[in-house]
Chains A and B, each alone.
Chain A
């Protein structure tokens, strides 16, 4: 069973129901193939870094799922290519670290490190994703438990 993650961008000019229906159709396509859906992340409306098809923003969706092999991918991606409402898509095979990262992110364990922890653990420092960077005004991820400056605790 391999873990995959598909991220795709839906055209924002559609109505809300159309957008949800489009995304739902792709989730159901996977379920029909027998893939287990781990998580569907509606990342919401985001501004694109550059215009695609003369649109400057798009609705991002990210589906994480498992599949026995990559056989479903050919038809699945063909569906994406044919759909005019999908601006971009990307399918990635996740390794075990990616799976772990996604699980931790959903559990809220990944966030900015707290400054100057009083008692430092003896062996390893707390792994902090995105250390020492200013809080950017980026659109927050909806539907994902956001790590509110909770330091990432090593559980091993």
Chain B
């Protein structure tokens, strides 16, 4: 059986490994999400203004819900659009 050192690959086998996603609120200990801060909320919204899913943003469930609530409040106050194009 050829040992690991003998096997040569054409491309790096580590390619395609994903960066470990984490909840930024848990890591940086942010407890409150301000709905009046549209710049921060833009990071959780795609170009059409839709809320990004948790598997993309990496948020934990608790904070994803808070983010969603903050975005909906910001939309009500016309700080974020409900639907656009080319938001970012």
Contact = CB atoms under 8 A, between A and B. Distances in A.
Interface in A70-100: 88, 90, 92, 95, 97-98, 100
A58 B73 CA distance: 17
Size range of the chain B interface in the assembly: 20 to 34
Contact of B79 (A46, A97, A128): A46
A8 B36 CA distance: 11
B36 A62 contact: yes
A92 B73 contact: yes
B39 A133 contact: yes
Interface residues of A, number: 32
Interface string A88-129: 101010010110110001000000000000000000111111
Given A129-B40, A133-B39, A136-B39, A50 B82 contact: yes
Given A43-B36, A129-B30, A9 B78 contact: yes
Contacts of B30: 127, 129
B32 A7 contact: no
Contacts of A43: 36
A49 B28 CA distance: 30
24 contacts: A9-B77, A9-B78, A49-B38, A49-B75, A49-B79, A49-B80, A49-B82, A50-B82, A62-B36, A90-B76, A90-B77, A92-B73, A95-B32, A101-B34, A105-B34, A125-B28, A127-B29, A127-B30, A129-B40, A130-B39, A130-B43, A131-B28, A133-B39, A136-B39
Interface of B: 24, 27-32, 34-40, 42-43, 73, 75-82, 84
Given A9-B77, A49-B78, A90-B76, 9 more contacts: A46-B79, A49-B79, A88-B76, A97-B32, A124-B29, A129-B34, A131-B28, A133-B42, A136-B39
Interface of A: 7, 9, 43, 46, 48-50, 52, 58, 60, 62, 88, 90, 92, 95, 97-98, 100-101, 105, 124-131, 133, 136, 138, 154
